[in-house]
Structures are given as C-alpha cells and as structure tokens.
Amino acid sequence: MNQKYILVTGASRGIGRSIALKFAREGYHVFLNCRTSLNELEEVQNKILSMPGGSCTITTGDVGDPDQVRRMFQEIHKICPGLDVLVNNAGISHIGLLIDMTDNEWDRLLASNLSSAFYCSREALKDMVSAKSGRILNISSMWGTVGASCEAAYSAVKSGMNGLTKALAKEYAPSHIAVNALACGVIDTEMNHQLSAEERAALAEDIPAGRFADPDEVADLAWQIINSPEYMTGQVIGIDGGYI
Ligand code: NAP
C-alpha cells in the first residue's frame, strides 16, 4: 500500500489533535502543526509513534504567515512529493462586541482562521494538481452559516472559509481534487474552556442533542468525508447536534 500524507494545522489539541490521531491510526504519515504549543504537539507525536506503524513529523509555524507556510511546505517536500490530504483546522476565537475589537485583534483572527487556509491550500494544491488527486477539508463553524452575536468577526472569517471551500471545489474538480468544509457546532475543547459551569449547562440546554460534541466525533466525520466519493465536493457539512 502506498504511504499517504496528511497535514493537520493546529494539531496540538482539540479537534486537530483528534483528527491527527485518527488518520495516524488509519496508516497516514501525519504532519503535525501548531504555532506555539510545542509541548502539547510533542505529546501527540509520542502518542502516534507509540502506535503500531505510526509515523509523523512535526512542522511548527504560524499558518497565518505566508513565509512560514512556504517554509513548512519545503520541510514537507523533504519527506514526500506532496500531500494527499490537507486539513485546515488551525483557528482562534474572539468573543466581544465588534465596536470594541482592535485592528490587531481583527488582523490576528483573519490571519489565523482564513488567510491560513488560503496559504496552506495554495501550497498543497500545487502538488495536488500535478498528482491530479487530493482532498482538502476546512474546519469551519456553524456561525459561518448563520452568524453569532458577539462573534461577528469570527462568523465573517468562517463564512469566508465556506466561500473559499465552494470556490476551490469548482476550480479544482477538473483536477480530481475534492474540497469540503465541516461546520462545527459546540465542540468540547479548550476553545470553550472560558465558559463557566453555569454557562456550559445553559448552552448545552440550547443544543437539541443536549451536550457538547467530543472532538473525536468530528475526527470520525472528517475521516468519512475524506473517504467519500470525489464527486462530493464544495459541501459545508454541519455537525452541531441540531443547533442551527
Ligand atoms: P483549540 O483547542 O484552541 O486548538 C486550536 C489549535 O489551533 C491549536 O493547536 C493552536 O495551536 C492552533 N493554532 C491557532 N492559531 C494558529 C496559527 N496561527 N498557526 C498554527 N496553529 C495555530 O481549538 P479547537 O476547538 O480544537 O478548534 C479547532 C478549529 O475548529 C478552529 O478553526 C475553530 O475555529 C473550529 N471550531 C471549533 C469549535 C468549538 O466549539 N471548539 C466550533 C466551531 C469551529 P497554538 O496554540 O500552538 O497556536
């Protein structure tokens, strides 16, 4: 069997960590990325290396910085000619009124969530087009579909990610590359750890499924989407417990 290669951005914890471990268990060589949390990323690396046949490479870098993304892909090219799968997962949230948001906060949110997907997709697609195969999965949010009060900027960048998904799907379907997005609901990760116990309980009550999702549930769906027929492309697929 040919070795397959995946890059998961933001793989040190949460959804990215679960996706990285899932694909490693399924035999992929996983390129593990994060910006600063190297200790957590090394823990993921150790977990993969302890799996039978598990293989991975750490490629740290700020995926919101095009130079760092170009450097990451130079490192990837030392190991393989190109990726089979790119998962654009890295992201940060911002909660607060739009009128209180600074220029820097907006620039950082945009770079980490949307420019990151643009820069990584641009590099990955060059190789995928040559190979005439590949899969890109963008980890988006239900707020990108319906918008959220006090998360206007976050909603806007996730909408942008959905638009990028649909447009790239059309642009690269002739090259047999499928591009889809996952519109996540509330997933139990560090991103939501600022919520108090009372806020968590109230939020869970609003979700028809009555709970937050485990990141492993997102990873299982990511695996299914990556293994779906190539004809399924340009889709924004919800995993939100019936919330929206
Ligand atoms: P998380 O636990 O906070 O993990 C975020 C990951 O992204 C970390 O590995 C972080 O590493 C990395 N990251 C952030 N900015 C980066 C950058 N500029 N360059 C490289 N890595 C970067 O968050 P999560 O909940 O797993 O979220 C993952 C994705 O799912 C995000 O795109 C998020 O918007 C989306 N999402 C999450 C939820 C939810 O409820 N949790 C809902 C909808 C969508 P460093 O700390 O080292 O930078």
Task: Establish whether 5 is a catalytic residue.
Answer: no
Ligand 1 atom with minimal separation from the 213 CA:
40
Task: Read off the pTM.
Answer: 0.99
Residue 176's Cα: distance from chain center in Å? 21
Residue 65's Cα: distance from chain center in Å? 16
pLDDT in tens for each of the 244 residues of the chain? 699 999 999 999 999 999 999 999 999 999 999 999 999 999 999 999 999 999 999 999 999 999 999 999 999 999 999 999 999 999 999 999 999 999 999 999 999 999 999 999 999 999 999 999 999 999 999 999 999 999 999 999 999 999 999 999 999 999 999 999 999 999 999 999 999 999 999 999 999 999 999 999 999 999 999 999 999 999 999 999 999 9
What are the domain boundaries of the chain? 5-239
The active-site residue out of 154, 172, 231, 243 is 154
- Structurally, at CATH architecture level, domain 5-239 sits in 3-Layer(aba) Sandwich (3.40)
Closest by CA to 73, choosing from 59, 62, 85, is 59
Q: Look at the block and give the residue holding tokens 């990323």.
A: 41
